[in-house]
Structure 1
Amino acid sequence: MLSPSLKEQIKCRWREFRREPSAFFWVMFMPILWMVALGFAFSEPKPEVYGVGWSTNSQSESGEEYRQAIADHPQVRLKMFDEATLMTLIKRGDVSLIAKWDGQQVVYQFDPRNPEAQRARDFVNNIVQQKAGRTDPLPAANEEIIAKGSRYVDFLIPGLLGLSIMTSSLFGVGMTIVSNRKENLLKRYIATPMRPWEYVVSHIFGRYMVLAFEFSAVMICGFLLFDFKVFGNLGSYLFVAILGAGAFTAISLTCAARTKSIPTIGGVVNLITLPMMMLSGVFFSKNNFPESFQTIIDFLPLTALNDALRKIALEGQGLAQVGFELGVLAVYLVVGTVVSNRLFKWY
């Protein structure tokens, strides 16, 4: 049974959320805006278009046929300028490759450390070689695979749900506690029979109420706009989201346990959230990072949350198959709750 003090504090958490319009906007509409913008931008596969510069410093009729072949290809956006101007365009990102005719061959200038430039070089060189008469000795064919669960938007939606849970939990709880402490509201609680752990736990329950709106908004919009489907058990999917919300709330409680100023808690929360937004696979796979670095990334709470959500939604796995991710989130939840209760100060 919940104590009367804890019940009243849970009611307070709901009233705080309901009376703050901006909080409702960030929880309900921000993940939807991300989903709509990125989902529609990448929902239809489009061939990559390469920005290529052709140097006019060494124009000759013998190289004109190759320049024309490059210019006529629909996946090439050719710009003709002198080399100095083309170098400026490379710095601006308008072109990634410079091609020129030296009288006998096509010479390519590009940064080999730039993956797009390397792809552009190979693509343009293939056009040039075909124009010169090269034929492929073995024919090849392409077969498109368009299946639910393999689209970018299917990868994106669980990541956005995880991102929304992280940001709303860290900013919502931390800012509220520090604001109450600054306004001396927490000091008044000393005169009540409420114990610190009840105040701490009330914020975890409060985030679960907010999660109901977050989860519903993301899932409903994902289904209606992009036909998103959870191939695994929906109850398991919800359980992971609940555990993730608890873990991030516990982290936020620890950060705000003794913090006294809004700028300080804002800086601490940003220090936590920004690296995880980049590293934890919200918008792109964490496998893009070096393998040795991925071991550290796997222990970040947002990584564990996103990986578990995707394994259940896209691969149809159960809770037993995401045991590592659940363990990581559980550690953050338990340790964060215990530490925040020990460190918590009313004033």
Structure 2
Amino acid sequence: MMSRLLAVFNARNKEFWRDRSSLAWNFAFPFLLVFGFYFIFGQGMPMFKVGVIGEQDAYISRPAFMQLSHIQFVPYDELETALNRARRHQIDLVLDLDRQLYWVNEESRNGYVAERLLVNADPDFNRRVVQGEPIRYVDWVLPGIIGMNIMFSSLFGVGYAIVRYRKNGVLKRLKATPLSAFEFVSAQILSRLLTVMLVASIIYFGSHWALSTLMLGNPFSLLLTLFVGALAMISLGLAVASRSRSEELTGGLMNMATWPMMGLSQVWFSLEGAPPTVQSIANALPLTHLVSAAREITTEGATLMQVSDHLLVLAGMTALFLTIAALLFNWDSDHR
């Protein structure tokens, strides 16, 4: 028995070490994660977040308050945008440098402490007050969780199924039937869309019923946004799995697609005030636009017109991924 066990053990080890794509991925991916998160969060999270109006303009000197450590200063072009963030407790203070004014939400605990620091450092700033109930973390994170579920269900549900069909010869047998590649891919898309939208609807409406989560916009707008986002994710899954018959390689490619989106698409935390390079990378990811549009609808009451920029980007990504999938799709193997 031991000899048989060792024979299978050695065979599996050789199979792993000879699979160069899987081997490289197992070594490279953890390093990519470590260095990526070090680059993004190497300086730690700030204790306070302060919106600043007028920082882009030329002025003589920065206030002493802006020299303090452990405070993140986020520039805003429009005062009303910053005030809305303060009303929802998403930032702790708003500073207008040109007029030497500041706004604080008196119901914010962080705002209370940040105001004490400001008054002590720059007593010449004049006080203004905004009011608004805080957005609970569950209200803020729910669109991210739904988007994350759509991402995993779409990519792995479609990608692995097609690779498994190709590896087991199912696609090769289907090729001998009157079924066209377009009909096969369309059926995969429609099937996964039905599943994804059903699960997303249950998660949202179940959470809304049980936890009274926030919904300031139109639920139909939210469902349409989720639909467009799911279509983009499914298309990405088709593009990744359009040619490979290796489940290990496909798994690595899926992880390469999903993990950056998990970290940079604001599923768990906001990237507001992050380095421009990080924000540019995040804006190139479909999950970022899906989560941002859904979050704006639920927590800010945005209409479809107001999130149309996100929807257009998702529609463009869908067209791009479907084109790639159509050009690369193969019934048989990696090489034909």
* TM exceeding 0.5: yes
- Per the alignment, residue 214 of structure 2 pairs with 229
Q: Give the CA deviation at 1:216.
A: 2.4
Q: How does 1:1-347 map to 2 (within 5 A)?
A: 115=46, 147=133, 150-347=135-332
Query: Taking structure 1 as reference, are residues 202 and 305 closer, same or farther at Cα in structure 2, changes over 3 Å only?
Result: same
User: Given that residues 236 and 321 in structure 2 are in contact (C-alpha distance below 8 angstroms), is that contact kept between their aligned partners in structure 1?
Assistant: yes
CA-to-partner distance for each residue in 1:49-77, whole Å, 9 max, x for gaps?
xxxxxxxxxxxxxxxxxxxxxxxxxxxxx
Q: Which amino acid aligns with 1:241?
A: L
Normalised by the length of structure 1, the TM-score is 0.58
Query: Taking structure 1 as reference, are residues 228 and 341 closer, same or farther at Cα in structure 2, changes over 3 Å only?
Result: same
User: Given that residues 261 and 287 in structure 2 are in contact (C-alpha distance below 8 angstroms), is that contact kept between their aligned partners in structure 1?
Assistant: yes
Q: Which amino acid aligns with 1:344?
A: F
User: Given that residues 197 and 227 in structure 2 are in contact (C-alpha distance below 8 angstroms), is that contact kept between their aligned partners in structure 1?
Assistant: no
User: Given that residues 165 and 171 in structure 2 are in contact (C-alpha distance below 8 angstroms), is that contact kept between their aligned partners in structure 1?
Assistant: yes
Q: Distance in 2 between matches of 1:152 and 1:114?
A: 17
Deviates more, 1:203-212 or 1:267-276: 203-212
Q: Distance in 1 between matches of 2:156 and 2:306?
A: 31
Q: Give the CA deviation at 1:240.
A: 0.7
Query: Taking structure 1 as reference, are residues 342 and 285 closer, same or farther at Cα in structure 2, changes over 3 Å only?
Result: same
Q: Distance in 1 between matches of 2:130 and 2:154?
A: 40
Q: Give the CA deviation at 1:152.
A: 1.2
Residue 318 of structure 1 aligns to a residue whose secondary structure is coil
Q: Give the CA deviation at 1:300.
A: 1.2
Q: Which amino acid aligns with 2:237?
A: S
Query: Taking structure 1 as reference, are residues 115 and 241 closer, same or farther at Cα in structure 2, changes over 3 Å only?
Result: closer
User: Given that residues 200 and 341 in structure 1 are in contact (C-alpha distance below 8 angstroms), is that contact kept between their aligned partners in structure 2?
Assistant: no
Query: Taking structure 1 as reference, are residues 282 and 186 closer, same or farther at Cα in structure 2, changes over 3 Å only?
Result: same
Q: Give the CA deviation at 1:320.
A: 0.9
Q: Give the CA deviation at 1:335.
A: 1.5
Q: Which amino acid aligns with 2:191?
A: G
Q: Give the CA deviation at 1:297.
A: 1.5
Q: How high is the sequence identity, in percent, across the aligned residues?
A: 37
Residue 266 of structure 2 aligns to a residue whose secondary structure is coil
Query: Taking structure 1 as reference, are residues 230 and 247 closer, same or farther at Cα in structure 2, changes over 3 Å only?
Result: same
User: Given that residues 207 and 246 in structure 1 are in contact (C-alpha distance below 8 angstroms), is that contact kept between their aligned partners in structure 2?
Assistant: no
CA-to-partner distance for each residue in 1:222-245, whole Å, 9 max, x for gaps?
213320132111111101101111
User: Given that residues 231 and 314 in structure 1 are in contact (C-alpha distance below 8 angstroms), is that contact kept between their aligned partners in structure 2?
Assistant: yes
Residue 287 of structure 1 aligns to a residue whose secondary structure is coil
Residue 284 of structure 2 aligns to a residue whose secondary structure is coil
Q: Which amino acid aligns with 1:193?
A: P
Q: Give the CA deviation at 1:197.
A: 1.2
Q: Distance in 1 between matches of 2:201 and 2:327?
A: 34
Normalised by the length of structure 2, the TM-score is 0.60
The alignment of Structure 1 onto Structure 2 pairs a total of residues equal to 223
Query: Taking structure 1 as reference, are residues 113 and 235 closer, same or farther at Cα in structure 2, changes over 3 Å only?
Result: closer
Query: Taking structure 1 as reference, are residues 205 and 112 closer, same or farther at Cα in structure 2, changes over 3 Å only?
Result: closer
Q: Which of 1 and 2 has higher RCO (CA within 8 Å, sep 6+)?
A: 1
Residue 331 of structure 2 aligns to a residue whose secondary structure is coil
Residue 165 of structure 1 aligns to a residue whose secondary structure is helix
Larger Rg: 1
